[in-house]
Amino acid sequence: MTTIQSRRKLIVIILLCVAVGGAVMRQFAARGSTLRDIGTLLMLLWVPISGNVISWLIARFRRPALAAPSPFDERVVFEPQLRVELTLRPPLLPSEDVPVPVGEHRCALVLGNEAFSARWWVPPELLFRRGTTQALEMEFLAPQLALPRFEPGASFKMLVGESVIGDGRVLGPVAERLVVSRQ
């Protein structure tokens, strides 16, 4: 339990004790007396806390929905279908001006008012910095829908989450090539 949680728990216990003390005071005080009115006010201190207790109980019973696994998780091998020229937008903070990490990156490519899920791979030998243009290969989640729309020369935007992080241009489909095993 964190410090904040333990403090909240202590506050709830104290206010509950004050409310019970107010109820006892009200029970034994004469009608119309100031002592009975103070007991009533002490009982009312519990009212704001009751909403917090109810919301805490609801949160305890409500379970967050599990996120569905991405269909890309089932595909172990990266099989590119499209070659693009990509320029990631430069970062706003100098501390974020680092090379793009090696490995797989997922995004949506936006063409007009349509977006297509894709992933791209940064090979270990490539030093890819934001603000520079690189030729990369993309793999689509649904290539049968995406490839007809991405004609050579078409411009697109790269979307990650809710942010546009890059701009690109289609160079063409990936030519057949031999798969080289790295050992």
User: What is the domain count for the chain?
Assistant: 2
Q: pTM for this structure?
A: 0.58
User: What per-residue confidence (pLDDT) applies to 181?
Assistant: 35
Say how many C-beta atoms besides its own lie within 10 A of residue 114's C-beta: 12
Query: Which residues make Cβ contacts (< 8 Å) with residue 39, sequence separation at least 6?
Result: 22, 23, 24, 25, 26, 27, 29
Do 156 and 111 form a contact (C-beta atoms < 8 A)?
yes
Residue at a domain's end among 36, 61, 86: 61
Say how many C-beta atoms besides its own lie within 10 A of residue 92's C-beta: 7
User: What per-residue confidence (pLDDT) applies to 180?
Assistant: 36
Rounded average pLDDT per 10-residue block, the chain, 183 residues: 80 87 92 91 81 79 73 76 91 83 89 91 84 89 90 92 90 64 36
Q: Which domain holds residue 75?
A: 71-173
User: What per-residue confidence (pLDDT) applies to 43?
Assistant: 86
Which CATH number fits the domain that encloses residue 165?
Answer: 2.40.30.10
User: What per-residue confidence (pLDDT) applies to 182?
Assistant: 34
Instruction: Tell me, yes or no, whether 182 lies in a domain.
Output: no
User: What per-residue confidence (pLDDT) applies to 154?
Assistant: 92
Instruction: Tell me, yes or no, whether 146 lies in a domain.
Output: yes
User: What per-residue confidence (pLDDT) applies to 125?
Assistant: 85
Instruction: Tell me, yes or no, whether 180 lies in a domain.
Output: no
Number of separate helices (H) and strands (E) present in the chain: 5, 6
Same domain, 78 and 164: yes
Question: What residues pair up with 117 in beta bridges, in sequence order?
Answer: 108
Reference 84, options 160, 150, 163; nearest CA is 150
Give me the sign of the Cα torsion angle 109, 106, 170, 147.
negative
Same domain, 158 and 75: yes
Same domain, 157 and 77: yes
Tokens representing residue 182 in the block: 């790295």
Burial class (CB in 10 A: 0-12, 13-18, 19+), 107: buried
Burial state string for 62-80 with b = 16 or more CB within 10 A and e = fewer than 16: eeeeeeeeeeeeeeeeeeb
Same domain, 93 and 150: yes
User: What per-residue confidence (pLDDT) applies to 130?
Assistant: 87
Instruction: Tell me, yes or no, whether 27 lies in a domain.
Output: yes
